[in-house]
Each structure stands twice: as C-alpha cells, then as structure tokens.
Amino acid sequence: MSAEPRSLLVHARALLDGEGASSIRAWPRACALLTRQALEELLACHWGQLGWTGLTDASARSQFICLATLEDTPLTGSVIVTWVELSNACHLHAYELAPTADELLRWIEVVELFAAQVTRPPPAQS
C-alpha cells in the first residue's frame, strides 16, 4: 500500500479514537471521507498492479462495477458494499444521522483487509 492510503486510514482511526474529534463537529463524516478516499486510492493501486491503469480515468462507481465483474470474492463484495455505505455517509443530509463508531470501525477494517490484499505480492508462477 502506498503511503497515502495508509496515512488516510491512520487519520481515520485517530478520529475514531477521539483524537481531535472534539475540534471537528462532523468527525464521523470526516472519518468516513478519509476511509472512502483511502479505498479509492487502493483501488487505483490495484488497477496499477494489474496493468490496467486506464481504469483510473473511469468514475469510482464504474471502477467498482469492474471490480465486481472481474473478481468475484467475498472480500470484493464487502469492499463494494463498504464503498457504497461510505459514499452514503459522506453526503450530508439534515434528516440522516451520522455513521456510528461501530459502522466506521467495520468500514475501516474492510478497507484494511483490501489494503492487505492489494499490497500482497503476486503468487510466484511456476
């Protein structure tokens, strides 16, 4: 994982743990935004590893549709659902509650699992 997604996740966890949260009224949404940005950066890294850098020019929604089509795994399903939930949490509506700490923690953990997959070296070919 490149330094930027890792840094974004560190900052998201810090907000979740209460570091600086008192100075940011909308800290749950800020945490969700940092996590979503990390996920999108990781997806760009994933396409780069596969040699499909042209996909990064597509919208995030299109990229996640491609991911679902190309890689049908339980983690891929979780990653896509997490991106949708993070996207919903990042859009402020006066009538909706901010995401809970448990939701944020679950989303961060899924992104960290995806990060571990993206940074894992490809299997050796025999």
Number of domains in the chain: 1
Q: List the CATH number of the domain containing 104.
A: 1.20.120
Residue 101 within any structural domain of the chain: yes
Within a domain: residue 126? no
pLDDT tens, residue order, the chain (126 aa)? 556 988 999 999 888 887 655 556 778 888 999 999 999 999 999 999 989 888 889 999 999 999 999 888 899 999 999 999 999 998 877 788 889 999 999 999 999 999 999 876 655 555
38/35 Cα distance (integer angstroms): 5
What 3 state SS string does the chain have? CCHHHHHHHHHHHHHHCCCCHHHCCCHHHHHHHHHHHHHHHHHHHHHHHHCCHHHHHCCHHHHHHHHHHHCCCHHHHHHHHHHHHHHHHHCCCCCCCCCCHHHHHHHHHHHHHHHHHHHCCCCCCC
Residue 124, domain member (yes or no): no
What are the tokens at 25?
Answer: 């009224």
Asked if the structure places residue 94 within a domain, the reply is yes
Confidence (pTM): 0.85
